[in-house]
A and B are shown apart, each in its own frame.
Chain A
Amino acid sequence: MAGSGIVFGAVTHTYRPLRGRPVLALDGVSLEVKEREFVALLGPSGCGKSTLLYLLGGFLPIESGSITVNSKPVTQPGPDRGIVFQNYSLFPWKTVKQNVLYGLEKQRMPKAERERRAQELIELVHLKGFEDSYPSQLSGGMKQRVAIARTLAIDPETLLMDEPFGALDAQTRTLMHEELLAIMQRSPKTVVFVTHDVREAVYLADRVAVMTARPGRIKEIVDTRPASGSRANYLQAPEFTAKVDYLWNLVRDEAIRAQEDHG
């Protein structure tokens, strides 16, 4: 199990609500994510894919199995694993710039350097001119750009993304996909990306891990890299459509099962 990258080893997790019966959320999930690889976790809602991400983030205790990052077991959250949530999770009382500065302050970066770094990141996500705005004054897409800038500012080796574009409209989402890929090209990172959007998963990820409905297991792992190696015209390519169809068929059964579970 040693080596670089992320290794999930037979991770099992039971969700225990304050009232009601415990629910088995994850059942023996094993998965390896190589360094600088972009892996999407795809599955119906309630399949435990976010739980898996929170365990990797160190936000929830690992009860059974193991998760290692570069051979080191995960025990608590850390600046080596940055996270971006669907609801943006910006500090509403801080301005754009103060939000981006937060992690740099925690990392005790000297003042002049962190000012420069924050400005660099704000420009990277195209928010120059909004440094002193509060999150409540921004659109959803802009808020998520701030969240990405705050996370990237401390330069984590691994980027965890929990349905980051799920709350955005279709056009904004497409633009954010392009921006994310451009950013990853400039400074490649290991990415674990949770989504229930098949097209998003195929377009962004190197590999897609399809998860079953509750309890979550890995059903199949599909290589989604374009044959040409470039995503320039990937969305129009027949291989893209073929992979989306193939994955959709895998997810479909699970989505139906998940619905029956809820009903």
Chain B
Amino acid sequence: MKDNIFIRYLPLVLLAILWEIAPRVHFVDPSELPPLSAVAAAWWSLLLDGDLWTNGISSLINWSFGLGSSIIIGIALGVMMAWSTTIDDIASPLVKALYPMPKSALIPVMILWLGLGAGSKIASIALSCLLPVIISAYNGARGVDQTLIWSARACGASNRNVLWEVILPGALPDILAGIRNAVAISFIVLVASELLVGQKGLGYLISFLGEGGVYDAMFAVVITVSALGFFADRAYLYFMRRTLVWRE
């Protein structure tokens, strides 16, 4: 077990060593890639002077409102499309038209409509994350076995009971998988929207530090964002497995 963990993290350790040595021996230009120790020191001072916190919390708020609203709206829309052919006929051309669109292309439109504040960022995240949630909820709800619905009805369940007690739990495995995709997209759009404009957030911090030439600190924020994305996915995966214990 111990060997296993060691081998698993060996590539990361090697990368860290390489990152430290390469700029020091001037294999790469240290002004373009500062040594890892300098990045770590910059990270520590960003943490101490509070820049990481204030911007991190600002990002976290936009991220949770954006992702949260996409999950709620996406599940509702996807399930309603599966439930009613009329809603499906109206909504599915829109969904299909939005599907191939590069999500970051929405950001300038949202800025035009909603301004430079938090609103445009939240809306960009929500719209980008909406599609994987809608599609997974739609497929999940349509995939619920007809005989499962009939069994519930024969037990005396109303249509509303069927929706909450059969369709939604039946669609849950698909919905949770769709939300995982949405989480990945949410980080991309969050940082992209903050890079573009704004005075707050981790993406803003990256562009501010980059423009000011403080590259060690810039790299420190880039690593922070990557780590947050990684741990968010890990935590989500853990939550998903816990929720779906009933499968095999």
Q: Which A residues fall within an 8 A CB radius of B?
A: 54, 57-59, 76-79, 81-83, 85, 87, 89, 91-95, 102-103, 106-107, 134-136, 147, 150-151, 154, 156
Contact = CB atoms under 8 A, between A and B. Distances in A.
Contacts of B154: 57, 77-79, 81-83, 151, 156
B145 A93 contact: no
B156 A106 contact: yes
Nearest to A81: B154
B169 A154 contact: no
Contacts of B151: 83, 85, 89, 147, 150
Given A81-B154, A102-B152, A91 B166 contact: yes
B246 A92 contact: yes
Given A83-B154, A136-B246, 9 more contacts: A79-B156, A85-B150, A89-B147, A89-B148, A91-B166, A107-B156, A134-B245, A147-B151, A151-B154
Contacts of A91: 148, 166, 169
Given A136-B246, A136-B247, A79 B169 contact: no
Contact of A150 (B145, B150, B153, B155): B155
Contact of A85 (B147, B153, B245, B246): B147
Which size class do B's interface residues fall under?
Answer: 20 to 34
A106 B157 contact: yes
Most buried by B among A57, A92, A136: A92
A150 B156 CA distance: 12
Most buried by A among B150, B151, B161, B169: B151
22 contacts: A54-B150, A57-B150, A57-B154, A58-B153, A59-B153, A77-B153, A77-B154, A78-B156, A81-B154, A83-B150, A85-B147, A87-B145, A87-B147, A89-B150, A89-B151, A92-B246, A93-B170, A102-B155, A102-B165, A106-B155, A107-B155, A150-B151
Contacts of B245: 134
Contacts, number: 66
A147 to B, nearest CB: 8
A103 B150 CA distance: 12
Contacts of A150: 151, 155
Contacts of A54: 150
Nearest to A86: B147
A106 B154 CA distance: 10
A137 B166 CA distance: 20
Most buried by A among B147, B161, B165, B247: B147
B204 to A, nearest CB: 43
Contacts of A87: 145, 147
A144 to B, nearest CB: 13
A154 B156 CA distance: 10
B172 interface: yes
A154 B172 contact: no
B211 interface: no
Nearest to A151: B154
A106 B169 contact: no
A134 B153 CA distance: 21
Contacts of A134: 245-246
Interface string B237-248: 000000001111
Contacts of B172: 93
B153 A93 contact: no
A51 B166 CA distance: 23
A247 to B, nearest CB: 27
Nearest to A162: B147
B25 to A, nearest CB: 57
Contact of A89 (B145, B157, B248): B145
Contacts of A103: 155-156
Nearest to A156: B154
Contacts of B157: 106
B146 to A, nearest CB: 8
A144 B26 CA distance: 71
Given A83-B151, A85-B147, A91-B169, A106 B161 contact: yes
Contacts of B166: 91
A3 to B, nearest CB: 24
Interface in B87-115: none
A78 B150 CA distance: 10
Most buried by A among B147, B154, B170, B172: B154
Contacts of B145: 87, 89
B246 A79 contact: no
Interface in B210-248: 245-248
